[in-house]
């Protein structure tokens, strides 16, 4: 079974600065997907960024980028030019690329990192 | 742009009471999911449904039942609520048939307290 570990329960960053959230995972599979989700106080889960394991290039979405180290099974999220609206709980998640017929692919989540942005 | 709609948003139950959490999606997705979120534990999968008429257990299915009423709706039922089921519940959906869409769309959650 896959596991996802987020070792930083809380992080803080000064507005306009850069912060990196850590995530490691354990799997025996070679093909999979990794995600970062943001959960603001509204509770809505919002997809921030995703990475396909077969792609060596790190994914980027505006101010959000990842550092994907497949051999080390590490998937960190970097937020540049942090804004007050970035304050939220951030979840790292893993999803297998295997797709047995008639099944649905499951998402395995880490325990989350609460990010505070200081004005 | 409704996406995934969950009802109710908040609920308080007494131990032993029953209730059903409703979920509907308007994106024509095949797969739907129920997760629970507890402090320090992230989201854990309760049940999922790959398509209309099929359901499967996830990581923490005990004490719950589900119904995939049609392609749009996926309900979660607590037959006899217990304090251990106090949690925030999320419904989600995704399109499995399209390899490009490897992401879940979430509802806004239901805060359930069992006294």
Instruction: Give the confidence band of B101 by pLDDT, cuts at 50, 70, 90.
Output: very low
DSSP B11-64: EEE-TT--EEEEEEESS--SEEEEEEE-TTS-EEEEEEESSTT--EE-S--TT-
Predicted pLDDT of residue B104: 79
pLDDT tens-digit readout, B4-37: 999 999 999 999 999 999 999 999 888 899 999 9
Using a CB-CB cut-off of 8 Å, the residues of chain B touching A106 are 33, 45, 48, 58
DSSP at A63: T
Nearest to B49 among A104, A105, A107 (CB): A104
Alpha carbon B49 to chain centroid, angstroms: 10
Among the residue ranges A9-23, A33-47, A56-70, the one predicted with the least confidence is: A33-47
Predicted pLDDT of residue A14: 97
Gap between the Cα atoms of B24 and B6, Å rounded = 7
Nearest to B43 among A91, A102, A103 (CB): A91
């Amino acid at each position: 079974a896959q596991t996802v570990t987020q070792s930083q329960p809380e992080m803080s960053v000064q507005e306009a600065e850069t912060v990196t959230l850590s995530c490691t995972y354990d799997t025996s599979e070679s093909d999979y997907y990794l995600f970062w989700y943001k959960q603001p106080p509204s509770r809505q889960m919002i997809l921030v960024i995703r990475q396909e394991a077969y792609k060596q290039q790190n994914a980027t979405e505006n101010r959000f980028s990842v550092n994907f180290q497949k051999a080390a099974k590490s998937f960190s999220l970097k937020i540049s030019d942090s804004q007050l609206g970035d304050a939220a709980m951030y979840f790292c998640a893993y999803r297998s690329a295997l797709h047995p017929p008639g099944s649905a692919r499951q998402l395995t989540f880490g325990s989350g990192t609460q990010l505070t942005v200081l004005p | 742009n409704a996406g995934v709609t969950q009802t109710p948003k908040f609920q308080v139950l007494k131990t032993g009471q029953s209730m059903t959490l409703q979920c509907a999606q308007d994106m024509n997705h095949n797969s739907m999911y129920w997760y629970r979120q507890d402090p320090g534990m992230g989201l854990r999968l309760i049940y999922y449904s790959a398509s209309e008429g099929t359901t499967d257990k996830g990581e923490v299915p005990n004490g719950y039942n589900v119904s995939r009423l049609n392609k749009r709706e996926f309900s979660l039922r607590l037959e006899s609520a217990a304090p251990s089921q106090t949690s925030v519940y999320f419904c989600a959906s995704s399109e499995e048939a399209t390899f490009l869409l490897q992401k879940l769309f979430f509802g806004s959650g239901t805060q359930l307290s069992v006294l």
